[in-house]
Amino acid sequence: MIRINLLGRPRPRAARRAVPLEATIQLVFLLSALAGAGIILFLHYWSLGRDVQSINRNVAIQQREKDRLATLKQQVEAFEVQKQVLQQRIEVIETLRRNQAGPVQLLDSLGATVNRTELLWLTQIKQTGNQLTVDGMAGSNHAVANFITNLKRSGYFQNVEIKESKQDERRPSVTAFIFSVTCEFVPPRPVGAAPAKG
Look up the CATH number of the domain holding residue 168: 3.30.1360.100
- Of the two residues 100 and 87, the one the predictor is more confident about is 87
Domain boundaries, position 159? 93-185
* DSSP tally for the chain: helices H, then strands E: 2, 4
- Rounded mean pLDDT, 30-50: 92
Return the pLDDT at 97: 77
Could you tell me if residue 174 is inside a domain?
yes
Digit-coded pLDDT (tens) for 105-146:
778 888 888 888 888 899 999 988 889 999 999 988 899 999
**C-alpha dihedral (27, 33, 35, 37), degrees to nearest 10:** -150
- Rounded mean pLDDT, 58-87: 94
Instruction: In whole angstroms, give the CA distance from residue 160 to residue 132.
Output: 9
Instruction: In whole angstroms, give the CA distance from residue 22 to residue 89.
Output: 98
Return the pLDDT at 34: 92
Q: How confident is the model at residue 41 (pLDDT cuts 50, 70, 90)?
A: very high
Return the pLDDT at 189: 63
* Torsional sign, CA 137, 142, 148, 150: negative
Longest dimension (CA), the chain: 185
Do the Cβ atoms of 147 and 181 come closer than 8 Å?
A: yes
Rounded to whole angstroms, what are the CA distances from 65 to 2, 53, 58, 75, 76? Answer: 82, 18, 10, 15, 16
Could you tell me if residue 168 is inside a domain?
yes
Q: Which residues contact 79 (CB under 8 A, 6 or more apart)?
A: none
- The pTM for the full model equals 0.47
Return the pLDDT at 198: 40
Could you tell me if residue 194 is inside a domain?
no
Pairing outcome for strands 157-167 and 120-128: unpaired
Rounded to whole angstroms, what are the CA distances from 5 to 1, 9, 14, 75, 103? Answer: 13, 7, 16, 103, 145
Which residues lie across from 185 on neighbouring strands? 157
Return the pLDDT at 156: 87
Do the Cβ atoms of 127 and 183 come closer than 8 Å?
A: no
The segment with the largest mean pLDDT, out of 49-63, 94-108, 177-191, is 49-63
Return the pLDDT at 179: 94
Digit-coded pLDDT (tens) for 149-193:
999 988 889 999 999 988 888 877 778 889 999 999 887 665 554
3-state secondary structure of 173: coil
- Of the two residues 177 and 1, the one the predictor is more confident about is 177
Q: How confident is the model at residue 7 (pLDDT cuts 50, 70, 90)?
A: low
- Nearest residue to 150 (alpha-carbon basis) of 105, 196, 181: 181
- Rounded mean pLDDT, 71-81: 94
Could you tell me if residue 37 is inside a domain?
no
Domain count, the chain: 1
One-letter identity of residue 93? I
